């Protein structure tokens, strides 16, 4: 049901050679990337390589000092070619991600309205980022000569946003799991408690427009599911861990390459501006900052997932020290807490970089260090 609303996003990806498999409501019914789409992807790869080779202005006696801007273009070209080719190889992993996601939504019994609203929210933010990206590309085409760096980055943008969509969904599902856990523990352990702790969303966020614009990810207007128990929620959390591992297999390389693009673009931008080697410094700043913005969005969602994990662990610590429940529930709580402690739902790129703000800070520190070296070298 969720992926039914994302056919248009898949269509956009198909235009730029990043076609994803499509899965229907029945998890066993899906379509893989067709031979025609794979051939189209290869055509795009060949096209951007040929057009880039035609547009570059240095000869075989390449001088890095005189062609610093071309280094960034070639770097982005290679990375986006890798992303396009890597997408073809991951179609079976995409199918497993989609199946796991649909299974979690079905287990939580999320209704169509909630799924439609979260899809609309994701589309809204995708549209905002896309419009901004198109404006930047238009400015680049107007004021610069080819090759156009931002146009080359389109596959990277779509790949990162595919990751952002699924991180948003994981954060949303985890928020729902936390709310169900809190309600179950309150109803079973503190039956006389009068605290209204379940889903403030219905009282506080009645405006759907406010819901769409709010950065926090959650399902709107959802009711407590009395048929869920801790064992089902524990299985859903385990599925979330599986989904994160599959996303690491699909997007680990892309996140790793994105960090490299952030670093090289920022160093190149600072060097070109400091040495007055560009006619449009503001455009170089946009090029350098653009990828950082995409990465910050992904880090924000990962941070939200981290906070939800810490919240659910805090629930268990709070209720495990209480003695008003039976032995069976205590064992389930301890097992659930053990799973949460061992699986923090933290996205990692090749187990080298975590998708968090610390990685951005480390990249900025590296940019400052190597920018000083680069300015002295050039």
Q: pLDDT tens, 182-205? A: 877 776 654 434 333 334 444 444
The C-alpha R_g of the chain, in whole angstroms, comes to 23
Report how many domains make up the chain: 1
Domain of residue 218 covers: 3-377
Long-range residue pairs from 214-218, CB within 8 A, at least 24 positions apart, any chain = 215/300, 216/304, 217/118, 217/121, 217/168, 217/169, 217/171, 217/172, 217/175, 217/301, 217/304, 218/172, 218/175, 218/176
Rounded CA-CA distance 257/255 in Å is 5
CB 30 within 8 A of CB 100: no
- pLDDT by residue (tens digit) across 133-191? 999 999 988 988 777 888 889 999 999 999 999 999 999 999 988 888 887 777 665 44
Which residues of the chain are under the pLDDT cut of 70? 1, 24-32, 55-69, 187-206, 221-227, 322-326, 328, 378
Ramachandran category for residue 199: left, alpha or beta (phi over 0 → left; psi -120 to 50 → alpha): left
Question: Exposed, middle or buried by CB within 10 Å (0-12, 13-18, 19+), for 108?
Answer: buried
Residue 146: exposed, middle, or buried by beta-carbon count in 10 A (0-12, 13-18, 19+)? Answer: middle
Q: What angle do CA 159, 163, 165 make, to 5 degrees?
A: 115
What is the pTM for the complete model shown?
A: 0.89
């Amino acid at each position: 049901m969720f992926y039914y609303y994302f056919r248009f996003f898949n269509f956009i990806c198909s235009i730029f050679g990043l076609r994803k498999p499509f899965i229907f409501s029945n998890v066993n019914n899906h379509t893989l990337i067709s031979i025609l789409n794979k051939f189209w992807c290869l055509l795009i790869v060949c096209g951007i390589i040929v057009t880039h080779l035609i547009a570059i202005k240095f000869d075989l006696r390449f001088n890095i000092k005189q062609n610093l801007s071309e280094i960034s273009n070639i770097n982005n070209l290679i990375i986006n070619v890798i992303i396009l080719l890597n997408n073809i190889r991951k179609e079976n992993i995409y199918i497993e991600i989609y199946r796991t996601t649909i299974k979690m939504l079905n287990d939580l019994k999320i209704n169509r309205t909630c799924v439609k609203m979260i899809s609309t929210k994701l589309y809204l933010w995708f549209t905002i980022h896309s419009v901004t990206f198109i404006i930047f590309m238009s400015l680049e085409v107007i004021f610069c000569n080819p090759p156009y760096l931002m146009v080359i980055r389109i596959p990277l943008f779509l790949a990162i946003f595919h990751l952002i969509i699924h991180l948003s969904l994981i954060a949303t599902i985890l928020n729902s799991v936390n709310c169900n856990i809190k309600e179950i523990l309150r109803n079973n352990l503190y039956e006389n408690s009068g605290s209204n702790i379940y889903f403030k969303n219905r009282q506080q966020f009645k405006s759907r427009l406010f819901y769409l614009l709010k950065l926090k990810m959650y399902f709107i207007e959802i009711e407590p599911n009395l048929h869920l128990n801790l064992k089902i929620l524990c299985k859903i959390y385990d599925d979330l861990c599986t989904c994160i591992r599959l996303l690491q297999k699909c997007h680990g390389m892309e996140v790793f390459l994105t960090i490299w693009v952030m670093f090289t673009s920022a160093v190149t931008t600072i060097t070109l501006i400091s040495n007055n080697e560009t006619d449009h410094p503001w455009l170089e700043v946009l090029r350098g900052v653009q990828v950082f913005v995409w990465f910050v969005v992904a880090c924000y969602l990962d941070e939200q997932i981290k906070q939800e994990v810490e919240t659910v662990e805090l629930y268990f610590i709070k209720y495990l020290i209480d003695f008003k429940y039976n032995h069976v529930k205590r064992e389930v709580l301890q097992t659930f807490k053990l799973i949460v402690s061992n699986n923090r739902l933290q996205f990692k790129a090749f187990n080298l970089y975590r998708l968090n703000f610390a990685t951005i800070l480390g990249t900025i520190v590296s940019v400052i260090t190597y920018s000083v070296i680069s300015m002295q070298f050039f």
